[in-house]
Amino acid sequence: MTVLTVAVMLAAFIFPRALVEAQQERIRQTPNNRVNVRPKLGWTATLPLGDADQIRQMPGVQYAAASRMIGLRLPGKDKVRFASRATEMEQYLPMMEELEAPAEQKQAFLADERGAFVTQTLATEQGWKLGDRVVFESEAFPGQWEVAIAGICRSLREGFAERQVWLHYRFFDRSLPKEAQGRVHWVSTEIFEANQGGHIAKLIDAHFDAAPDPTSSLADDVRVQAEIGNFSAILTALDTVSYLVLAVVMSIIGNTLAMNLRERTHEYGVMRAIGFGSHQLGLLVLAEAALLGLLGAALGIGLSYPLFEGILSHALQDAMDFPPIVIHRQVAWLAVALGMGLSMLAAAVPIYRVAQLRVTDALRRLG
Amino acid sequence: MLALLKYNLLSLWVRRTTTLATTFGIALVVFVLGASQMLSTGIRQTIVSAGNADQAIVLEHDARTEEASRMDQTAAGLVAAAPGVKRNAAGQVMVTRESVAHLMLQSVVDASRFSTLQVRGVSANVFELRPEAHIIAGRAIQPGTDEALVGKAVLGRYPGLRIGERVEFSSSTKPTVVGVFEAAGSVYESEIWADFETVRRGFLFFANLSSLTVQLDSANALAGFGAPLVADLQTGLSVASERAYYEKASQGLPDVIGILGIVETLIFSIGAVLGAMITMHASVSQRSPEIGVLRALGFGQPQILFSFVVESAALGLAGALIGAAACLFTPLLDFRCINFATGQEVAFRFVPGWSSLGLAILAGTAVGAIGGLVPAIRAAFVDPVQAMRA
């Protein structure tokens, strides 16, 4: 039962920890050689397509790919949510190394103007295979778009492009009413030198300062940091809770060990009497604590994965568009290490008592 | 019966180390639940208190927030002429036009942090329409000048947000901060206020404006006021009571926090129930001779059962009270977070309330009682003869 308690408590530790860790992981995985250029007028405003060409000519910029949010939906399947972009893919694919797909698929997609590039998660869920023809509608524009699945990719960056569809910018743009053509929501760029994003972003904004559509550029890593910074108070709170939980785990283990000890004083007395040293007994208690922590952690992790990544993650995604919950391996290892470490720490007081035990006293007590 | 309960409660004290460990666990359950509920309440209050039921807000028809709304000047004339608009003592219509934008600033307190603050371009009559706001330091801005006010929740936390400093809206628009205002703890306190024209120029509004806030004759005048405006498809306006606008803006974030809190509490309370169970089990098995004596003295099984559940519930209550007491310190924390609905950063408070704390204390006591149930049943079935022999 103690093992179960420790397991549940560690699960209570893993939950907030996983949420915090996932965000930190997102910061770590964001490349430091990208700059994102958006309209200064806000999220819903647009820039002319020509901006991407101008940015491409600027010193220090390697790739610049314009994207437009196109709000695709599957006809009759309003519940199926995914992100969709019309993007200059011949610039975008070479820079997005984190989108992993066989080279021949990338080639095939670039060669096929009526092709769609989709993520694995979405393809599996919808049963799409290479070459399948799929019809999309758009929330933003009237009409239907029939495209062939030309490439299926997997995002190596966690939380990035989990459920997404890309179409070729030219193909989509041509189908729009004249007045809507040639506009983009942002330009993703890759620069030659890492960590120069802040500098290049300033150059780009200065370049467009006097243009009818001024820009607001930010290095990707800064943007992600800023986005997460918005929630940092919640993350700090979760962080604090996770550590408080550990303190409780420790006090429970310490308590259990102390009670065991009390019950078994007589046995320890006998063991001392037949020649075990107090060091050996101490080690015994320590080993017991470590085992307790290990079993608790193992069970806790075993419970956490199906519970959080499975049930809870789905429930929260459905209920409020919450990002999927992912428990990183390092969180799991941390739980094992802390489970064992804290158990052993909690064993300190009982060990001290065992060591102090006088054989005669112990034997006198009838457990 | 009273003697029995006294025995049970005293035994908690006798075994206080063990009691303390369990109490601590329960206290944390109560703390997490209580604090997350308090925060949820606080967020709703902060946002909703910005809205008055007898004021209306007019936005572009498909804009969800003021920041996303752009109307042209003709809207101002239409709104001023609409029925139900109150006039002040001087006979002027009580309508204020505002230009609202977002500004991303790097925090002075934590350099790794960028925050999106809301900037409100206000007209000369802003304090008439927003009576909860008043200057607490410096002075009000002079209409038509490049001057700004900062809400007291953001004062000094971002570059340029102190009296005498300049805050950068764009490369050419950098108004000087001349005063600090408070607004009854509402979301306005996390904003920067500057002149209507300054914001329009700094954030490229051209001839547009974001919102018109109107003092109505009464809350009932809303329908009569709004109908003709919404019907004018040419201009494309939407009308809502200010209260309703802010209520909508308060959705999302408190739900997320409430749910995170409840999920964590649920997992955690299972752990705490188990913890209480362990404690009570050990307690019962150690005290079986005593229980035997109690039985021999004539206390019946139901009484023993009841008294042990009470013992465990008392354990829970003690933990709950500690946890709730800890919750009372949370209003001292500085909690800033983005409001999902509007995308701006807001300083929120933890608001203690009977419903949040009561719920939390109840949960803590229940954890104790449930955890104690099985051990109490065991206690009730102690065979007095066997027990006293041991």
Q: Could you please report the per-residue DSSP string of B212-232?
A: EEEEBSSGGGHHHHHHHHHH-
Residue A159 and residue A323 in contact, taking contact as beta carbons nearer than 8 Å = yes
Residues of B in contact with A263 (CB under 8 A): 282, 286
Residue B163 and residue B177 in contact, taking contact as beta carbons nearer than 8 Å = yes
Mean pLDDT of A196-225: 85
Residue A330 pLDDT more than 90?
no
**Residues with Cβ within 8 Å of residue A200, at least 6 apart in sequence:** A35, A58, A60, A61, A189, A191, A217, A219
Residue B68 pLDDT more than 80?
yes
Cα–Cα dist B351/B331, whole Å: 7
> Per-residue DSSP letters for B78-95?
HHHHSTTB-B-TTS-B-E
Most confident of A84-93, B21-30, B38-47: A84-93
Q: Over the stretch B118-169, which tens digit does the pLDDT of each residue have?
A: 999 998 888 888 888 999 999 999 888 899 999 998 998 888 899 999 998 8
CA distance A167 to chain B (A): 27
Lowest mean pLDDT among A95-99, A136-140, A321-325: A321-325
**Residues with Cβ within 8 Å of residue B3, at least 6 apart in sequence:** none
Q: Is A317 on the interface with B (CB under 8 A)?
A: no
pLDDT at B100: 92
Q: Is A330 on the interface with B (CB under 8 A)?
A: no
Q: Is A148 on the interface with B (CB under 8 A)?
A: no
Taking the alpha carbons of A21, A23, A26, A32 in that order, is the dihedral positive or negative?
A: negative
Candidates A19, A226, A251; nearest CB to B114: A226
CA distance B36 to chain A (A): 10
Residue B298 pLDDT more than 70?
yes
**Do residue A312 and residue B263 have CB atoms under 8 angstroms apart?**
yes
Candidates B252, B257, B267; nearest CB to A8: B267
Closest listed residue to residue B295, CA positions, set B190, B213, B388: B388
Q: Is A15 on the interface with B (CB under 8 A)?
A: yes
- State the alpha helices, DSSP H only, in B82-178: 126-129
Q: Is A1 on the interface with B (CB under 8 A)?
A: yes
- The mean predicted confidence, pLDDT, of chain B is 85
DSSP helix/strand/coil, B352? coil
Total number of residues shown for chain B = 390
Residue B274 and residue A5 in contact, taking contact as beta carbons nearer than 8 Å = yes
Q: Over the stretch B302-314, which tens digit does the pLDDT of each residue have?
A: 888 888 888 889 8
- Token couple for A60: 């220090």
Residue A313 pLDDT more than 80?
no
Domain-by-domain residue ranges, chain B?
Answer: 2-48+252-389, 55-242
Residue A192 and residue A106 in contact, taking contact as beta carbons nearer than 8 Å = no
Cα–Cα dist B150/B162, whole Å: 8
Task: Tell the burial category of A62 from Cβ atoms under 10 Å away from its Cβ (0-12, 13-18, 19+).
Answer: middle
| Amino acid, res. B217 | D
**Do residue A230 and residue B264 have CB atoms under 8 angstroms apart?**
no
Residue B274 pLDDT more than 90?
no
DSSP letter assigned to residue A322: P
DSSP helix/strand/coil, B381? coil
Shortest CA distance from A27: residue in chain B: B112
The residue of B19, B43, B104, B264 whose CB has the most chain A CBs within 10 angstroms, and thus the best one to mutate to test that interface, is B264
**Do residue A5 and residue B345 have CB atoms under 8 angstroms apart?**
no
β-strand partners of A270: none
pLDDT band at A64 (very low <50, low <70, confident <90, very high): very high
pLDDT at A367: 43
Residue A169 and residue A114 in contact, taking contact as beta carbons nearer than 8 Å = no
Residue A322 pLDDT more than 70?
no
**Do residue A12 and residue B267 have CB atoms under 8 angstroms apart?**
yes
pLDDT band at A365 (very low <50, low <70, confident <90, very high): low
pLDDT at A166: 94
- Token couple for A318: 């459905």
* HSE, side-chain direction, 13 A CA sphere, residue A252: 35
Q: Is A243 on the interface with B (CB under 8 A)?
A: no
CA distance B268 to chain A (A): 6
Q: Crossing angle, helix A313-320 and helix B253-286, to 10 degrees?
A: 150
Candidates B24, B259, B268; nearest CB to A12: B268
β-strand partners of A37: A187, A217
Residue B223 and residue B83 in contact, taking contact as beta carbons nearer than 8 Å = no
Q: Over the stretch A141-169, which tens digit does the pLDDT of each residue have?
A: 888 999 999 999 988 887 788 889 999 99
Mean pLDDT of B326-349: 83
DSSP helix/strand/coil, B137? strand
pLDDT at B321: 92
CA distance B275 to chain A (A): 6
- Token couple for A291: 């085992």
- State the alpha helices, DSSP H only, in chain B: 2-14, 16-48, 74-81, 126-129, 196-202, 222-231, 242-249, 253-286, 288-296, 301-327, 354-380, 384-389
**N-terminal to C-terminal alpha carbon distance within chain A:** 21
Q: Burial code of B291-312, b = ≥16 C-beta within 10 A, e = fewer? A: bbebbeeebeeebbbbbbbbbb
Residues of A in contact with B336 (CB under 8 A): 233
The predicted complex's ipTM stands at 0.71
Residue A232 pLDDT more than 80?
no
Contacts of A340-343 with C-beta under 8 Å, sequence gap 24+, read: A340/A290, A340/A293, A340/A294, A340/A297, A341/A293, A342/A246, A342/A249, A342/A250, A342/A253, A342/A293, A343/A6, A343/A250, A343/A253, A343/A289, A343/A290, A343/A292, A343/A293, A343/A296
Residue A257 pLDDT more than 90?
no
Candidates A42, A248, A312; nearest CB to B25: A248
pLDDT at A128: 92
**Residues with Cβ within 8 Å of residue A149, at least 6 apart in sequence:** A115, A116, A118, A123, A128, A129, A130, A131, A132, A134
β-strand partners of B176: B147, B166
Residue B133 and residue B190 in contact, taking contact as beta carbons nearer than 8 Å = no
Residue B319 pLDDT more than 60?
yes
Predicted TM-score (pTM) of the model is 0.76
Q: Is A209 on the interface with B (CB under 8 A)?
A: yes
Give the A window 213-232 contacts with B, CB below 8 Å: 214, 222, 225-226, 229-232
pLDDT band at A323 (very low <50, low <70, confident <90, very high): low
pLDDT at A165: 93
Residue B90 and residue B223 in contact, taking contact as beta carbons nearer than 8 Å = no
Shortest CA distance from A346: residue in chain B: B21
Q: Is A298 on the interface with B (CB under 8 A)?
A: no
Task: Tell the burial category of A222 from Cβ atoms under 10 Å away from its Cβ (0-12, 13-18, 19+).
Answer: buried
pLDDT at B149: 93
- The mean predicted confidence, pLDDT, of chain A is 83
